[in-house]
Amino acid sequence: MSAKKILMLVGDYAEDYETMVPFQTLLAVGHSLDAVCPDKKAGDTVATAIHDFEGDQTYSEKRGHNFALNADFAKARVEDYDALLIPGGRAPEYLRLNEDVIRLVRDFNDADKPIAAVCHGAQILAAADIIKDRRVSAYPACAPEVRLAGGTYAEIAIDDACIDGNLVTAPAWPAHPKWLAGFLTLLGTEITH
């Protein structure tokens, strides 16, 4: 397996597990990740939020960690990376308003590079207009956005994932095992026991 270089797009109040777990997992299997946020640089941090499922009609939210960025968003270019990773949480809600973010996501898709998005990350995919006629999973509250963007919302279990071409998507962090396994497959990563 050759190590891949992955761009991770985060922002304030990205979901903690959907940020920290993929970052550490992909490093553990030998890939490198540049975590970036618009208007921030390497060494800055983003605040994360922990979304939990406690039997209410929606998830609860608690303050998470400060996640350190290790690269500058302004320097991120699709040609320098093999794949893109987009955590969920509340960050996608405002990141999708940034034209540089949208252009970067479109560039990854146009280059047919793997893109992993979880939970509210689909909001960025929808805003980038790259999910028309594609099957995409997301947190159920994002289903209308997937459909309005011309995608087919994949109604799957909260711990499942969906692969459609270069996209691997999932409803929320309980899907990490299948979502990250799908991303590793798209990256060509082989893990043997």
**DSSP result, 110-121:** HTT--EEEEGGG
Q: What is the mean pLDDT of residues 74-96?
A: 97
* Confidence class for position 120, pLDDT limits 50, 70, 90: very high
pLDDT band at 1 (very low <50, low <70, confident <90, very high): low
pTM: 0.96
Residues whose CB is less than 8 angstroms from the CB of residue 144 and which lie 6 or more positions away in sequence, other chains included: none
Summarised one tens digit per residue, pLDDT across range 138-163 is 999 999 999 999 999 999 999 999 99
For the chain, first and last CA: distance in Å? 14
CA distance linking residue 176 with residue 4, whole number of Å? 19
The partner residues of 49 in beta bridges, in order of sequence, read: 15, 63
**Quick one: DSSP state of residue 36?**
E
| Residue 69 contacts residue 46 (beta carbons within 8 Å) | yes
Nearest to 84 by CA among 110, 64, 66: 110
Q: What is the pLDDT of residue 70?
A: 98
Is residue 111 very low, low, confident or very high in pLDDT (cuts 50, 70, 90)? very high
**pLDDT tens column, 24-52:** 999 999 999 999 999 999 999 999 999 88
For residue 127, pLDDT beyond 70: yes
Alpha-carbon gap, residue 155 to 187, rounded angstroms? 25
